Amino acid sequence: MEKQIQIDFRRNFYTNDDSGKIYIISLLAPFLVMFLFSMLGVSIANAAGLSSENMQEYLWFTIPYAFAGQLTFLATFFIYNKVAKVKNSAVGLNFKIGWKRTLIAIAVGIIALFGIQYFISLCDMALISVGYPMDTTVSILPLDNFGWYILNLLVLALLPAICEELIFRGVVLKGLRRNFSDVTAVLLSAMMFCLMHGNLQQFAYTFLLGVILGWIATRTGSIFSSMIVHFVNNFIVITMAFIEQMTSWSMSIEFSWWFVLLALLLLCVTGVIIFLIDMFFFKHKNDVEEVKEREKRPSLFLIISWAVAVVLLVLSTIMNFMS
């Protein structure tokens, strides 16, 4: 009896078009899921005779709500690959990057946070000066004991490091690299990453972080390295917020002329360190070279996705100023 050979017709790469399509879905799907989830929560609260004015007071609502956004990204990734007939392995998730690259990824995650945090504070001050309402809330979940700290790490550090990297350094960056140079692809994916967050307060931070994440994913040939950087970065943010909550100790510095100098100096030092890592460790060679297509222009879906992201950012900014 002859064995039947099953042919897998799924492709093992992403295109410019894929980047635009999954980006549009990643922009709109979380909004829809969060809206429906909120409506369901309000309905349950009303049925139980509870006030629905501030749903964040109810843990039965806030805990699932905190997970919903990231799990939507994860579902988007797998469903899109299924419908578009793309192998999940196309994102380039290779766990065997070696201990040296693992240590470098951890170091980059630490450097990326402490090197740019005061520069981000300068950007925040600029927004405050024009009347932009700042949100200092780290998480909608409590952070006043070790149990909540662990849950916050899961929701705000581990899940984003996995789910967001699959979308942005996986599908989006991989698709862009087929049509653009690596530098252009990294910058475009970083811009798309910061626009996805939908508010001016996170704009500079997420763009700079997106550049670093795209750079290390490109250089190592695996988004596992960008997942490590992403996790370490968010881990430190949550840990510092927890320490401040428990002890009132903070790394914030009062604004002065030397604060501006320190912020710019640390930003420059961070850039120099990353440049040296790139120059002497990676030696300007990518482990995985993407096949470049002749078309250097963005696809229609990519342009539409950028337009949608900008519109959402403008609407979010207007609503913040009106609130």
The predicted-structure confidence for 219-243, as pLDDT tens digits, reads as follows 999 999 999 999 999 999 999 999 9
Give bridge partners of residue 249 from the DSSP assignment.
none
Helix 300-322 × helix 16-47 angle, to 10°: 40
Determine the Cα–Cα distance for residues 230 and 213; give it in Å rounded to an integer: 7
CA distance 102 to 131: 42
User: pTM score, two decimals?
Assistant: 0.92
pLDDT in tens, 44-67: 988 888 887 778 888 889 999 999
pLDDT in tens, 148-191: 999 999 999 999 999 999 999 999 999 999 889 999 999 999 99
Q: Which two tokens stand for residue 134?
A: 């700042």
pLDDT digits (tens, 9 = 90+) for 73-119: 999 999 999 999 999 999 999 898 888 999 999 999 999 899 999 99
Query: pLDDT at position 1, please?
Result: 46
Cα–chain center distance at 74: 13
